[in-house]
Structure 1
Amino acid sequence: MVERAGSDPTTRGVRVGNFSGFYGDRLDSIDELLTAGVDYLTGDYLAELTMLILRKNQKAGRPGYAAGFLGQLRPVLARIAASKTKVVCNAGGLDPLGCAEAVRELCREQGLSLNVTAISGDDVLPQLSALQPELLRNLDTGEALVVAPERVLTTNAYLGAWPIVEALERGADIVICPRVTDASLVIGPAAFHFGWKATDFDRLAGALWAGHAIECGGQVTGGNYSFFSEHEPLGIPPMPIAEIFDDGSAVLTKSVADQGCLTVDTVKAQLLYEVGGPLYHNPDVVGDLRTVQVSDAGDGAVRISRAVGYAPTSTAKLSICYDSGYRNSFTIGLTGSHIPEKIAWLRHQVDQVLTGADRFDGYRWTVIGPADSGGSLAEATAWVVITARSPDADAVGRRAFSGAITQLGISSIPGCYFVGSPSSEKSTAVQWPCLIEKSRVVARVHPQDAEPFDVAWPELAYELTVEDPPDDPPPAFEDELVQVELGRYFGTRSGDKAGLANVGVWARDPESYAWIRSYLTPSRFKQLVAEAAALPVQRYELPGILGLNFVVNGFLEDGTASSIAIDTQAKGLGEYLGSRVIELPAHLASRGDI
């Protein structure tokens, strides 16, 4: 056992800095956080799409872990050792033991003595044939999984924080995780530091929200922020730090004080990112987003407090990814006048040369622009992106798809040009979110110089009983209405989860929240976002952060790895909603751009 940091853990917070929000994040972020001073460095690499990429790497003889982590670690490893800062990350991907051994080799090269521990147990692919299709129902659609076993690429359960706690208890300096929930990377260090129990649900929920706030790195310090224009140029937002306290509250700061932007609004935006209903299910705790309070803590810091947590369920999320075919895209430039007529002629021609179109199971034309047909050359230009998907590689391959379109080059619309060269097909995969009983998932800790051991799930009463808050009647607004863009007065943030898109909307004062709550119903959302008109839309109210969350089922079809949408992760959907014109009561609009 090792001694927990801090002489008085009841008053001193534990500082956790996140250096990676995705596989490909900034290379200098660890150095930046070490300079700021943290107790733990966490790194999140594993978007759902990343697991598919890592499986492709394995099939090609490359590492099944986030090899880029080693490049981030190499120049700062000596600083990490000297400062006794611990590292917890999920760079292990599909091969956490291989990643841990690569880190150990890096330590040996630099003459450093660091305890590198790996965690495994998320991969349940060997069990797949024993699991009945009806037990693996899609969380979003309710469909039973019916797929040939040989088509399945990855089957990973989301582990929780307690294996991380066990690794730290046994002296780990660097913990290499596989698929764990993003927030577990933060919950684990906090639970270890303060000695929390598995039944400290409110504390665990507080760390859950702190982890969710910082897991995407710069997205909470100014990146992807809808009110960015209210500030001076933000440059490259720095990395976030969460100082978590024993009661579960946290204070967020930036690694570089005079860069980026960390405000109540940037934190609310991130809390709304990629969530569903108000109950946020983690394998160790269920957090209730309706209770969370976000407040200004002064000096560029923001406090998250009043979290309420509940006992988790007896299941863990299971993400299955299976092969679904191939897709390809080709982009053509359109310039000047008669854009609709050019598109019509072009489409007639393309339909004639695509001889494999009868084998498509997805086909879409997306027109981007023009911004101004009477403006500059760039402003008067539009691009049409033609995307097709098929279970047959030949149908969307270079010869039958992109090459076939290319042959129209000098026999087509006036001013025709191609954006890039014809490309070959790329494989696609379906992302299938479902649940698995925790009893089927066994986490294992692999210490550096000891035998591996299993970590059992905590023995808890898995009953989720939640009381809904009272439903306040909608307020009456009787003054004149004025037309404004929604995003001038309300923040937005959107993202993806498998085939779902979520759009969070938040207000900046209680009266504006009362109005947007009464105005922006699911049916109104469908009116403003035409692409969602025929899809199921659920709305969830989050009064603690003055927010609403809209979940659009099927917006991304079967997920980003197979979608033929132009924005396969729905990143721009929130900004699109913010640009829609609404009718706002004049007394709210008179406050200016709040």
Structure 2
Amino acid sequence: MAAVRIANCAGWLWDRFSGLRDALAGPVDVVTGDYLAEPTLRQLALERRKDPALGYARSFLAQFTDAVDLLVERDARLVVDAGGLNPAGLAEECRRVLAEKGHTLVVAHVEGDDVLGRLDEFGSLPHLDDGRPLADWGHDAGTANAYLGGWGITAALEAGADVVITGRVTDASLTTGVAAWWHGWGPEDWDALAGAVAAAHVIECGPQATGGNFSGFTEVPRVDDLGYPIAEIAADGTAVITKHDVAGGTVTPDTVTAQLLYEIQGPIYLNPDVTVDLADVTVTQEGPDRVVLAGVRGTPPSPTTKLAITAPGGFESSVSFYATGLDLEAKAALLRTHVDRITADLDLSLLRVDRIGTPVEDPRDQWEAAQQILVTAQAQDRSQVGAERFIAPLTGLFLPGYPGLYVNPLRVANPVVEYWPTLVPTEALHHEVVLADGSRIPVKDTPVRAEFRGQPPSVPALSGEFTTTRRAPLGLVAHGRCGDKGGNSNVGFWPRGTSDAAWAWLRAAISTDWVAEVYPGVEIERHEFPGLRAVHLVIHGILGKGASSNGRPDIAGKAVAEFLRARYVDIPEELLS
């Protein structure tokens, strides 16, 4: 059986409009699209509250309308999680578009992830990070969606679907469901399924695999016009990551390594269909823009899957102040005094004052002399962070404020969605495929499961003796990539270059103590990926309640790796040269 050629067309809700058309720029068998980053749940929940007919990715529907003629011309299948909170509604909209354009593609959707009406069946539903029971949350759940595996997608394709719309499945399920259908895998083909999960993890965020969000972006060709990645998955689960020849960007071991290290919590990567062991994964350049992904192993999945619960969490407003030039500490202190006075009588659930940036010495223009001071507040009652009681008093500080104060309201009483991650038994989910005529196909999930025993023990950094060193930014000799998992941030580092000396030094330099210098008092896990020559860290709790409600300027911790790469370390001269 030939490898299945799977292109990705989206990595989040508002990925570029031309994504589907771009993914079809050359021959492919199937196009997948991932629209459901965790903060996306917030957006879809808010839209559905305003209109119960919504709750799906309207951005996808626009892409589908634009590119469906090309999809038919390419004779390709399409599998997306754009159904969000309303996959049935999006499936009907796709059928409407097809009818209007005169096409006869078969559309099916997958259900079973929505368990909002069943929460009482699942017990205490402890928080995935801190173990608190859901009863202690203090919010009324508005959505509750479990992460389904890929077998519903497989069943829909086997039933003749050309377009499959899902709700909340794991990001990798879009690809594993396709690969299992194409190759006829069974639910106990662990290694093959694990290889497909790894390939899926590389392509699921679209152009991040071809040079986007990549610490080596200055060396990426056509970095302003990145293409979307393709996974060619063989019958044994090994894969080649590539892209269309006409697309910009590049596919190299570094771009693939970056994505493998993105949003994982260690060498063991959990999926409802298989537990994936990435400890010995390797990436090898086979040719221009062709990287072989191998060495992935699989074992039976856990009996549980992740459940994401969201709830209306009040409202958030933020005001951006700017301080310029000298006496920045005194200016920030005076502003904080005013903020505390203005908010003293408000009933706030969160108040943050974040100073962003450091002015340069002897600035050449006004903007080089400026620092942003971002004031963010959340409250259950809209009036507490509204224009009258919060925004107006803060923006009115021109006269009593520090010299040079100017201000810009950024958000005014925007709705906040609280997030609660937990686990539910996979066998308790009503996983079904729904065909156009309303008939339903129950999905047979994996019969063999094994309790997850946790990640391997955290490993310490190796000691090393390096004679001649110079203090310089870590990023001069190391790439980095970070991601968010609820309130935790994961960060991976690997050498720029392939020398043994660079890997030996990196293993000694990246320690938990080094990271704890800037993130004191938090738990930090450390693992190594010898096949990738990478050090991987999980920094617990630095993203607060998670991206949907933490109020941080960098809500998803997208810049944590770049911050750490900017820190100075003692680097051997031979690596710098």
1:43 maps to 2:48: no
Counterpart residue type for residue 548 of structure 1: V
1:444 maps to 2:444: no
Structure 2 unaligned regions, length at least 5: none
In structure 2, the CA distance between the partners of 1:461 and 1:372, relative to structure 1 (3 Å rule), is closer
Q: Measure how far apart 1:306 and its partner are.
A: 1.7
In structure 2, the CA distance between the partners of 1:81 and 1:398, relative to structure 1 (3 Å rule), is same
Deviations 1:359-393 (A, max 9, x none): 33322211223431421111112221111223343
Answer whether contact 2:527 2:535 (CA < 8 A) is retained: yes
Q: 1:558 aligns with which of 530, 541, 545?
A: 545
Counterpart residue type for residue 115 of structure 1: V
Counterpart residue type for residue 21 of structure 2: D
Q: TM-score, normalising length from structure 2?
A: 0.95
Aligned equivalents of 2:399 and 2:73: distance in 1? 65
Aligned equivalents of 1:105 and 1:391: distance in 2? 40
- The equivalent of 1:379 in structure 2 is 368
Q: Measure how far apart 1:471 and its partner are.
A: 8.0
Aligned equivalents of 1:476 and 1:242: distance in 2? 38
In structure 2, the CA distance between the partners of 1:470 and 1:554, relative to structure 1 (3 Å rule), is closer
In structure 2, the CA distance between the partners of 1:252 and 1:291, relative to structure 1 (3 Å rule), is same
Q: Which moved more, 1:210-219 or 1:334-343?
A: 334-343
- The equivalent of 1:31 in structure 2 is 21
- The equivalent of 2:216 in structure 1 is 227
Aligned equivalents of 1:363 and 1:256: distance in 2? 49
- The equivalent of 1:243 in structure 2 is 232
Q: Measure how far apart 1:212 and its partner are.
A: 0.3
In structure 2, the CA distance between the partners of 1:408 and 1:473, relative to structure 1 (3 Å rule), is closer
Q: Which moved more, 1:191-200 or 1:316-325?
A: 316-325
- The equivalent of 1:65 in structure 2 is 56
Answer whether contact 2:395 2:409 (CA < 8 A) is retained: no
1:417 maps to 2:389: no
Deviations 1:228-260 (A, max 9, x none): 223455212111111111111111112345621
Counterpart residue type for residue 279 of structure 1: I
Q: Secondary structure, in 3 states, of the residue corresponding to 1:571?
A: coil
Answer whether contact 1:373 1:381 (CA < 8 A) is retained: no
Q: 1:336 aligns with which of 315, 320, 325?
A: 325
Answer whether contact 1:54 1:65 (CA < 8 A) is retained: yes
Aligned equivalents of 1:266 and 1:403: distance in 2? 46
Q: Measure how far apart 1:473 and its partner are.
A: 9.4
1:586 maps to 2:577: no
Q: Which moved more, 1:105-114 or 1:514-523?
A: 514-523
Q: 1:208 aligns with which of 187, 193, 197?
A: 197
Q: Which moved more, 1:453-462 or 1:118-127?
A: 453-462
Q: Measure how far apart 1:439 and its partner are.
A: 2.0
Alignment of 1:394-543 (within 5 A): 394-420=383-409, 423-449=411-437, 451-462=439-450, 474=462, 476-507=464-495, 508-509=497-498, 510-527=500-517, 530=518, 532-543=519-530
- The equivalent of 1:199 in structure 2 is 188
- The equivalent of 1:549 in structure 2 is 536
Q: 1:128 aligns with which of 110, 119, 122?
A: 119
Q: Secondary structure, in 3 states, of the residue corresponding to 1:548?
A: strand
Aligned equivalents of 1:150 and 1:120: distance in 2? 25
In structure 2, the CA distance between the partners of 1:413 and 1:233, relative to structure 1 (3 Å rule), is farther
1:21 maps to 2:11: yes
- The equivalent of 2:352 in structure 1 is 364
1:388 maps to 2:377: yes
- The equivalent of 1:93 in structure 2 is 84
Counterpart residue type for residue 17 of structure 2: L
Answer whether contact 1:355 1:400 (CA < 8 A) is retained: no
Q: Measure how far apart 1:345 and its partner are.
A: 2.0
Q: Measure how far apart 1:26 and its partner are.
A: 1.1
Counterpart residue type for residue 542 of structure 1: F
- Runs of 4+ aligned structure 1 residues displaced above 6 Å come to 465-473
In structure 2, the CA distance between the partners of 1:525 and 1:131, relative to structure 1 (3 Å rule), is same
Aligned equivalents of 1:583 and 1:302: distance in 2? 32
1:568 maps to 2:559: no
Deviations 1:35-73 (A, max 9, x none): 221100100001112122112111101511111111101
Answer whether contact 2:459 2:527 (CA < 8 A) is retained: no
Q: Measure how far apart 1:83 and its partner are.
A: 2.2
Aligned equivalents of 2:463 and 2:553: distance in 1? 39
Q: Measure how far apart 1:346 and its partner are.
A: 2.2
The size of the alignment, in residue pairs, is: 573
Aligned equivalents of 1:467 and 1:377: distance in 2? 50
Q: 2:174 aligns with which of 185, 205, 229?
A: 185
- The equivalent of 1:3 in structure 2 is none
Counterpart residue type for residue 168 of structure 1: L
Aligned equivalents of 2:168 and 2:547: distance in 1? 18
Counterpart residue type for residue 561 of structure 1: S
Counterpart residue type for residue 20 of structure 1: A
Q: Secondary structure, in 3 states, of the residue corresponding to 2:153?
A: helix
Aligned equivalents of 2:296 and 2:273: distance in 1? 15
Q: Which moved more, 1:32-41 or 1:141-150?
A: 141-150
Q: Secondary structure, in 3 states, of the residue corresponding to 1:151?
A: coil
Aligned equivalents of 1:256 and 1:36: distance in 2? 8
Answer whether contact 2:211 2:220 (CA < 8 A) is retained: no
Q: Measure how far apart 1:534 and its partner are.
A: 2.1
Answer whether contact 1:356 1:395 (CA < 8 A) is retained: no
Q: Secondary structure, in 3 states, of the residue corresponding to 2:142?
A: strand
Deviations 1:69-94 (A, max 9, x none): 11101122122123220000001111
1:347 maps to 2:330: no
Q: Secondary structure, in 3 states, of the residue corresponding to 1:20?
A: coil
Q: Which moved more, 1:160-169 or 1:45-54?
A: 45-54
Q: 1:108 aligns with which of 99, 106, 110?
A: 99
Answer whether contact 2:459 2:528 (CA < 8 A) is retained: no
Q: Which moved more, 1:268-277 or 1:547-556?
A: 547-556
Alignment of 1:288-367 (within 5 A): 288-357=277-346, 359-367=347-355
Answer whether contact 1:221 1:237 (CA < 8 A) is retained: yes
Instruction: Give the percent of matched residue pairs that are identical in Structure 1 and Structure 2.
Output: 35
Q: Secondary structure, in 3 states, of the residue corresponding to 1:140?
A: coil
1:82 maps to 2:69: no
Structure 1 unaligned regions, length at least 5: 1-8
Q: Measure how far apart 1:310 and its partner are.
A: 0.8
Answer whether contact 1:354 1:405 (CA < 8 A) is retained: no
Aligned equivalents of 2:445 and 2:192: distance in 1? 18
Q: Secondary structure, in 3 states, of the residue corresponding to 1:209?
A: helix
Counterpart residue type for residue 537 of structure 2: F
Aligned equivalents of 1:364 and 1:98: distance in 2? 39
Aligned equivalents of 2:455 and 2:373: distance in 1? 50
- The equivalent of 1:217 in structure 2 is 206
In structure 2, the CA distance between the partners of 1:76 and 1:219, relative to structure 1 (3 Å rule), is same
Aligned equivalents of 1:517 and 1:346: distance in 2? 43
